[in-house]
Amino acid sequence: MPDAKRAPDGAGVPARRAALRLLDAVLRKGLPLESALDAAARDLDKAEDRGLVHAIAAETLRRLPDLDALIDSATKKRLPDDAKARFALRIALVQALALGTPPHAAIATALPLIDGGPRKLVHGVFGTLMRQGAALPDPPTLPDLVAVRWAHAWGEEVAAAAARLIAAPPPLDLSFPADRPPALEGASLLPGHLRLAAGTGVAGLAGYGEGEWWVQDIAASLPARLLGAGAGRSALDLCAAPGGKTMQLAAAGFAVTAVDASESRLARLADNLARTHLSAQVVTADVMAWAPPEPVDAILLDAPCSATGIYRRHPDVLHRVRPRAIAELSAGQAAMLARAADWLKPGGSLVYSVCSLEREEGERVAEAFLAARSDYAPEPISADEIGGIAQPVDGHLRLLPGTLEAEGGADGFFIARFRRISGG
Ligand SMILES: C[S@@+](CC[C@H](N)C(=O)[O-])C[C@H]1O[C@@H](n2cnc3c(N)ncnc32)[C@H](O)[C@@H]1O
């Protein structure tokens, strides 16, 4: 409802209001950035305005501890975390210091967000920081909880690499059938992979409409590769949408059944298959309630997870994923893996993957699975299978920040492969 007392918004203000709503949805309500975007930007029609809203919110989330430290350095009394004045200052500062917005435009479009609140204070803090020549540090500072958790799990150097990788936008990785490389310039780190510069627009790129390739981080392309060639073999792709791995499996020749609980995400999977002229049987179902009609030769379970491994593209995970959620997800992953394991033929391979940087969702799930299932054995992954881009640990792949850093990095992932040795 329009606020009767509020002056009409000037140019650029609705996008900043939407950015404030989006940041509030992530930081106060704990919602994922991507799923909160539509509601937050509901009154913006132009794609460029929505793009600006996303850019402001995502960059604020990447730089939050440093933005807050600047704000705190210039206020006598600390502004509460959820104060509108703090949100408005974050939005103005991130634009002026990281997104190249002229400072006068950054503050002019942020002040109306305060609606009768402490405009003078916000104006004063912003002005002081600009006069002082305030800058954001490089690399950015990780939120304390994440820095401590990752340093504890993986060591200080990995946490430091994660901070370095937040500063630079990730490159654009494409996947395609290995025997049909697209005519594009880029670095190929594996067969069926091409890496293009960060910021490359997808829609205008040659071959998109023709379905010659799909966007997929190189780390996310590894699980399907580990199931090998598919001619004459059946595969279940569990938790499949939007279908990056389904397309890989179909391109490798598997007869794929792609299962996912989300209709909207499966609609994207169907579009992706149509665009790339690949085929799979698509099933809308909860993996915990569904079962296949007969056992299959290969299974890929890309389980729902905290997604902390994709913090570069989805920096909201740095702020909203808490240990309790990780524990709950881990229990769900273990239950899904136990169920899926009954659907594999003896001699078949099962790949379990999560885009998570938490041991609880990776190593711990794999260990507990092997301890509980005498019909399964590890099927160790070798570095040669993945072109040496990472070194397996105990036969599993653990991709940490720092992997391929000189080439632009890779998402954080855990991937394990098991072989069914009996039963079925
Ligand atoms: C990590 S994403 C999958 C990404 C996908 N494998 C790809 O490569 O494009 C996890 C998926 O799990 C699905 N999911 C979550 N819980 C599920 C359940 N109980 N049964 C089936 N799918 C589920 C979500 O809808 C989501 O699409």
Q: Is the CB of 244 under 6 A from ligand 1?
A: yes
Task: Write phi, then psi, for 193 (nearest 5 degrees).
Answer: -135, 140
Residue labelled with tokens 């950035």? 33
Q: What is the pLDDT of residue 297?
A: 98
Tell me how far the alpha carbon of residue 401 is from its chain's centroid.
13
Tens digits of pLDDT across the chain (424 residues): 344 456 677 789 999 999 999 999 999 999 999 999 999 999 999 999 999 999 999 999 999 999 999 999 999 999 999 999 999 999 999 999 999 999 999 999 999 999 888 999 999 999 999 999 999 999 999 999 999 999 999 999 999 999 999 987 899 999 999 999 999 999 999 999 999 999 888 888 999 989 999 999 999 999 999 999 999 999 999 999 999 999 999 999 999 999 999 999 999 999 999 999 999 999 999 999 999 999 999 999 999 999 999 999 999 999 999 999 999 999 999 999 999 999 999 999 999 999 999 999 999 999 999 999 999 999 999 999 999 999 999 999 999 999 999 999 999 999 999 999 998 5
Q: In this predicted structure, what is the pLDDT of residue 424?
A: 57
Query: What is the CATH number for 289?
Result: 3.40.50.150
Please check whether residues 241 and 337 belong to one and the same domain.
Answer: yes
Spatial distance between the Cα atoms of 309 and 66, rounded to a whole number of angstroms:
21
Please check whether residue 341 lies inside any domain of the structure. Answer: yes
Strand partners, 416: 352
Ligand 1 atom nearest to CA at 242: 9
Regarding whether 235 and 339 lie in a shared domain, the answer is yes
- Residue 98 burial (C-beta neighbours within 10 Å; 0-12, 13-18, 19+): buried
Q: Which domain holds residue 49?
A: 13-131
Q: Please tell me the predicted confidence (pLDDT) of residue 168.
A: 79
**Is the Cα torsion angle 87, 85, 68, 319 positive or negative in sign?**
negative
Closest residue by Cα to residue 242 from 302, 194, 182: 302
Scan for tokens 């994923």, then name that residue.
321
**CA nearest neighbour of 173 among 152, 146, 201, 194:** 194
User: 227 and 126 share a domain?
Assistant: no
Whether 147 is covered by a domain: the verdict is: no
Total length of the chain: 424
Pair 194, 172: CB distance under 8 Å: no
* 237-30-160 Cα angle (round to 5): 80
Has 305 been annotated as catalytic? no
Ligand 1 midpoint to CA 285 (Å):
10
User: Which of residues 109, 131, 153 is at a domain's end?
Assistant: 131
Residues 264 and 398 grouped into a single domain: yes
131, 153, 187 — which closes off a domain?
Answer: 131
CB distance 256 to ligand 1 below 6 Å: no
Residue 315, φ and ψ in degrees, nearest 5: -65, -5
Q: Three-class SS of residue 393?
A: strand
Of 25, 129, 355, 410, the active-site residue reads 355
| 199 found inside a domain | no
Looking at 131, 147, 168, the residue that finishes a domain is 131
**Residue 236: closest CA among 102, 110, 90, 340:** 340
Domain count, the chain: 2
- Model pLDDT, residue 92: 98
Residue 104 lies in a domain: yes
Q: How far is the CA of 237 from the centre of ligand 1 (A)?
A: 10
Question: Do residues 299 and 226 lie in contact, with contact meaning Cβ atoms separated by under 8 Å?
Answer: no
Question: Domain for residue 288, yes or no?
Answer: yes
pLDDT of 392 reads 97
Global confidence as pTM:
0.94
Ligand 1 neighbourhood includes 302 CB (under 6 angstroms): yes
| 262 and 410 fall within a common domain | yes
Residue nearest to atom 11 of ligand 1 (CA): 239
Strands (E), 277-320: 281-284, 296-302
Binding residues for S-adenosyl-L-methionine: 239-245, 260, 286, 302
User: Looking at residue 9, what is its pLDDT?
Assistant: 75
In order of 75, 169, 220, 308, the CA distances from 215 in angstroms are 44, 15, 10, 19
What separation in Å is there between the alpha carbon of 242 and the centre of ligand 1? 8
In a domain, 185, yes or no: no
